[in-house]
Chain A
Amino acid sequence: MTARMLRVAEVTPLSPLVTRFRFECPEGGTLPLFSGGAHVVVEMPDGATLRRNAYSLISDPLDGSGYEIAVRREDAGRGGSRFMHTHVAVGDLLRVGAPVNLFALDLRAKKHVLIAGGIGITPFLAQLRQLTRLQMPFELHYCARSRAEAAGLSLLPDLPQVHAHISDEGDRLDIGAVLAGQPLGTHVYTCGPEGLIEAVAGTATRLNWPKAALHSEAFLSPPPGAAFKVTLARSGITITVGPHQSLLEAMEEAQVDAPWLCRGGACGQCETAVLSCKGRIEHHDHWLSDAEKAAQQKIMPCVSRFQGEDLTLDR
C-alpha cells in the first residue's frame, strides 16, 4: 500500500454536519492524479486505535496540488467521522493511501446520468469535472432533505445539467421520469443511502435496463453491533471484536496480516474463508452472492459481523 503523510491544508464547514478537508504534500510536491469516483483511505490515530476510513475524492482529478474530501459527521458511527470533525485541524499530518477507483465512469457511455442522495454527492463532484473536461453528455440529480443539510449545493457548478431535488420544498426525484427515454448507451450511477440505490435499480429493471448499465456505490461504513469472538486458525489466536470495531480492524489490532482495499464491502479484496461456523454470520457486504452468504463459507471482515458460538477463519 503506497500511503503517504499529508498535511491538512484547509478545514471548511459546508453544513452543520459536513466538513471539507484539503490535504497537501508537506514538502509542497504534487500528488498522483486520479479518475472521478476514486477514494482514498485516511488513517486516523485515535488514541490506541488506528482507524482507517475510505472517503471519495471531491477535488479536480487532474489537479495534483491537493486532495479534498467531504466528511459527514455520524455520531452513531464508530468514531472515524467524529474524529475527523473534532480532532483534525489545519497543519496536522495524516497518512493517506493512493487513490483507488471502484466507482469509475464507463468511458464508452454515450451519456452519463448521475444520481446522488445526501453525502453520496461526493464521488460525483470529481466525476463532474472529468465529464466537463472530456466534454461528455451527462445529467446530475442531487437529492437532499433540506437546503441547510444539502452540503453539496455550494460545491456544484451552476450548469443546466445539474438538478437539485430538495424534498422539504416538495421536489422529490422522479426516477422513472429521469430514466425514461434516455438514449442507447446511457449509464446510470447512483451513490447514497441503500434505499435510493435500490429504488434506482428497481425502476431501471422495470424499464428493462440491463445490469451492466447500472453502477452504484453505497459507501458502507462498518456497522456497529454486539462484540463477538473469532478464532484465526493460521495465526493460532482467538480475538474479540468490539462493538464499535470491525472484524478487519480487530485483526489489524492483533497484528494479523489481512488484505483490504475499500474497507466498505465492495471490492472483494478482504474475502476470507470460513473454516467452521456455529452461529450466524451477519453479512453486510455487496460482494458475496446471496447463495455464498447463505452457505456461510466466506466472510468479508471489513464490514461483516457474527453472532453465535464459534467462528473460525482461515487467516
Chain B
Amino acid sequence: MTMRFNDETFRDDYTFHNSPAAIRRFPFPFDQDSYMYSVNIEPHRRGAAGSVFQHRFDVDEHYVAEMRDREITLRDDPLRCQSLPHMELAGWDFLELVMVSKAEDYPELFELHRDGDRWHWINRPLGIEQRFIFLDATSLPCGPMEYITRQTQGDHALLDQREGNLWMDAGMVTSQADWSLDFDIGMNFFEWHAPVPKAHELGVFQRALKFLLSLQQGAPVRRLNWTMTVNPRLDTSPENYHKWGPEKRTLTAGNVGAKQYLRVELQTLWRMPRSNAVAFPIRCYLLALEDLVTVPKWGRRLHRVLRDLPDELAEYKGFAVNRPLIVDYLSRFDDCAPTSAGIFPDD
C-alpha cells in the first residue's frame, strides 16, 4: 500500500484534516468513563495492522506536513532543538533506532544500507538521500539527534541515566503541550514534572521513575497522555503562548465541534545500547471533536470524562475556560448508554 500524504498546515489557515481512516485509527486515550493520573505504562508491543501501534515509529498521512511545520518552528527559534555536550552518543543511538525501525517497517518509504560505519539513508517522502559515517557528526549536516528528528514525527527527548534519576539532557521539541525545552533541559525527572499538579502526592512519578530506571534494551514501553487544543496547532509552546493564546478564546457554541481538538500523545520509551540513555519520543495526534463523535463510543466517553474531571486538572491542561462549551457540545452525543471497555471503536 502506498501512503498518501496530506498537503495541510498547522498554523495560520489551519488546513489540517484527518481522513476517515485516520479518524478510525486515532489513539483514543480513555479506556473508561473517567480519568485520573496513573502509571499507565504498558509494553510497546506491535499492535493490530493499521493501528498506530502497528509499527515502532508510526508514519501517517500527516508526516510530510508535520516535518514542514517543524522546519518553520525551528527557523523561528532554533533553541527548540538542543543537546547537552555529553548526549551526542545518545543522539547516534537514537538515529540508529529510528533508521533501522523505519527501514524495516516501511521499506517502500525508507531505506538504510550499512557497510560498517558507512551508512546510506534514503527517505522518499521527504526526498532525502544521505551518505554519512556513523559516529562522525561532521559527516551529517547537523547533529545526529537533530538530523533524525527533523525526519521523525513527534517531539523527542533523550534522557541520561545517572544518580538513580533520569535527566532531560537533549531534545527536539516543536509540538509540545506547553513546556519549554530551553527551560527544562538539564532537569531531572521530578524537576521537569514539577509543575504537574496532584501526581506528585499520588506517588505517580516515584513509581514511574523506578520502572523506567530498569527499562531494558529491546523491551520498549508506551503510555498515552492527552490534553485539549483549540485549532490543529502543533506549536503550542510557552514561547509563543502570547501568539496562540488569543485563539483559545475564539471558541463558540457554533464552532466548538470544528475548532476544538483532542490532543493525544503517544509516548514511548526505549533503552538505548551505547549510551545507556532512554529515548522518549512523544508523538502528537489531533482529532476535532466533530470527527471524534463519529465514533459513538468515543463521543459518549469523552463527554463523561471531561464533565467529571477535577477542576485542577482542567486548569493544568489549559481548557478550564472552554470546558462548559466543550461539555455542552459533547453532551449532545451522549445518550447515557453504557460504553465498552478499552480504547478501540465498537465496530
Docked pose: A267 CA to B214 CA in angstroms: 8
* Interface locus among B5-13, B67-75, B272-280: B272-280
Q: Mark A266-304, 1 if CB is under 8 A from B, else 0.
A: 011100000000000000000000000000000000000
Residues of A within 8 A of B210 (CB): 268
Residue on B nearest A97 in the bound complex, by CB? B216
CB distance from A204 to the nearest CB of B (A): 16
When A107-B160, A212-B163 are in contact, do A98 and B275 touch as well, CB less than 8 Å?
no
Residues of B within 8 A of A104 (CB): 161-162, 276
- Are A101 and B218 in contact, with the CB atoms below 8 A? no
Docked pose: A38 CA to B273 CA in angstroms: 10
Docked pose: A269 CA to B216 CA in angstroms: 12
Docked pose: A100 CA to B218 CA in angstroms: 11
Docked pose: A1 CA to B85 CA in angstroms: 32
CB distance from A97 to the nearest CB of B (A): 8
Q: Mark A24-41, 1 if CB is under 8 A from B, else 0.
A: 000000001111001000
CB distance from A42 to the nearest CB of B (A): 16
State how many residues of chain B have any CB contact under 8 Å with chain A: 19
Residues of A within 8 A of B89 (CB): 107, 134
Docked pose: A101 CA to B161 CA in angstroms: 10
A241 lies within 8 A of chain B by Cβ: no
Give residues of chain A (230-274) contacting chain B, Cβ–Cβ below 8 Å: 261, 267-269
Docked pose: A99 CA to B217 CA in angstroms: 7
A149 lies within 8 A of chain B by Cβ: no
- Are B160 and A1 in contact, with the CB atoms below 8 A? no
A2 lies within 8 A of chain B by Cβ: yes
B321 lies within 8 A of chain A by Cβ: no
Residues of B within 8 A of A106 (CB): 162
- Are B273 and A34 in contact, with the CB atoms below 8 A? yes
Docked pose: A107 CA to B86 CA in angstroms: 6
- Are B216 and A2 in contact, with the CB atoms below 8 A? yes
- Are B274 and A2 in contact, with the CB atoms below 8 A? no
CB distance from B267 to the nearest CB of A (A): 21
- Partner pick for B273 among A1, A35, A134, CB 8 A cutoff: A35
- Are A1 and B216 in contact, with the CB atoms below 8 A? yes
Docked pose: A34 CA to B93 CA in angstroms: 11
- Are B216 and A62 in contact, with the CB atoms below 8 A? no
B219 lies within 8 A of chain A by Cβ: yes
Give residues of chain B (201-239) contacting chain A, Cβ–Cβ below 8 Å: 210, 214, 216-219
A108 lies within 8 A of chain B by Cβ: yes
Residue on B nearest A259 in the bound complex, by CB? B214
Q: Mark A129-161, 1 if CB is under 8 A from B, else 0.
A: 010001000000000000000000000000000
Residues of B within 8 A of A35 (CB): 273-276
- Are B216 and A107 in contact, with the CB atoms below 8 A? no
- Are A32 and B274 in contact, with the CB atoms below 8 A? no
Docked pose: A269 CA to B164 CA in angstroms: 13
- Partner pick for B275 among A1, A99, A107, CB 8 A cutoff: A107
- Are A32 and B214 in contact, with the CB atoms below 8 A? no
Docked pose: A104 CA to B210 CA in angstroms: 17
Residue on A nearest B169 in the bound complex, by CB? A108
Sort A-B residue pairs by CB-CB distance and give the 5 closest, nearest first. A33-B273, A107-B86, A35-B276, A2-B218, A108-B86
Q: A2-B219, A98-B217, A269-B214 are in contact. List 14 more A-B contacts (CB 8 A).
A: A1-B216, A34-B273, A35-B274, A61-B273, A62-B274, A98-B218, A101-B276, A104-B276, A107-B86, A107-B87, A108-B84, A108-B162, A261-B214, A268-B214
Cβ contacts A to B, 25 pairs, < 8 Å: A1-B216, A2-B219, A32-B217, A32-B273, A33-B273, A33-B274, A34-B273, A34-B274, A35-B276, A61-B274, A62-B274, A98-B216, A98-B217, A98-B219, A99-B217, A99-B273, A100-B214, A100-B216, A104-B162, A107-B86, A108-B85, A130-B274, A267-B214, A268-B214, A269-B214
